[in-house]
Amino acid sequence: MAVWLTGTVAVAVVATENFFTIDRLLAARPNPAFAADVEKLGHDATRELLRYLSSELNRLYFRYWNLAQLAVGILALWLVVKLPAATRAKWGIVGMLAIALFLAFLITPFILSVGRSIDFVPRDPPPSGLRTFGLLHAAYTVFDGVELILGILVTVWLIKASDVGDLNSSLYPAHQFSNRPN
């Protein structure tokens, strides 16, 4: 669960920071060669080009993360499915997998398509696909947030089940650690 939760938060932070970094770089111009290139190309054209690069990187990260979530989710379910005291955790993981499938195969492809259709399109007036992109992005964020909350709940349920000893006894039967013959 830690890998799933950490990955979800990390991808969100990276995607957001990719865009903020562009404006920080353009404002600071920390490298003379970079500053010279910005001057040649112009501030607005450089910003648009860097935002396009950031968009493409984010698209790649989200596609890979969506697929990785499916693998991590299947592994988590496989590890938890035989634990008798983990019924809520099992259903939580199933819910998380359902959300990951929905995001990977329904929402993300539309975000990629609509996002690419509005790359390099002036924002004044707003392009027709901008509203659709915003709604798809909001849907992704909400579902990702629900998945994150479910992941936290699954983790808590697993910890509580292990505190009672139910998971420990099913994972590590006492005879495994005994020096006595069975």
Provide the 8-state DSSP code for 119: T
Q: Are the C-beta atoms of 59 and 31 separated by less than 8 Å?
A: no
Residue 173 banded pLDDT, cuts 50, 70, 90: low
In the chain, % of residues over pLDDT 90: 82
When computed from its CA atoms, the radius of gyration of the chain, rounded to whole angstroms, is: 23
Nearest one of 107, 138, 134 to 118, comparing CA atoms: 134
Residue 89: exposure state from Cβ atoms within 10 A (0-12, 13-18, ≥19): buried
CA separation for the pair 152, 149 (Å, rounded): 5
What's this model's pTM, rounded to 2 decimal places? Answer: 0.85
| pLDDT at residue number 180 | 47
What residue spans define the domains of the chain?
2-168
pLDDT at residue 62 is higher than 60: yes
| pLDDT at residue number 161 | 86
Residue 163 banded pLDDT, cuts 50, 70, 90: confident
Nearest one of 97, 104, 116 to 63, comparing CA atoms: 104
pLDDT at residue 116 is higher than 70: yes
User: pLDDT tens digits, residue range 118-151?
Assistant: 999 988 899 989 999 999 999 999 999 999 999 9
pLDDT at residue 162 is higher than 90: no
CA separation for the pair 85, 105 (Å, rounded): 32
- Token look-up 């006492």 returns 174
Cis peptide before 125 (omega within 30 of 0): yes
Nearest one of 157, 146, 79, 140 to 105, comparing CA atoms: 140
CA separation for the pair 112, 133 (Å, rounded): 9
Q: Encoding tokens for residue 148?
A: 């994150």
pLDDT at residue 114 is higher than 50: yes
The stretch 40-52 carries a mean pLDDT of 96
Q: How far is CA 58 from the centre of its chain?
A: 10
The stretch 167-177 carries a mean pLDDT of 50
CA separation for the pair 88, 83 (Å, rounded): 11
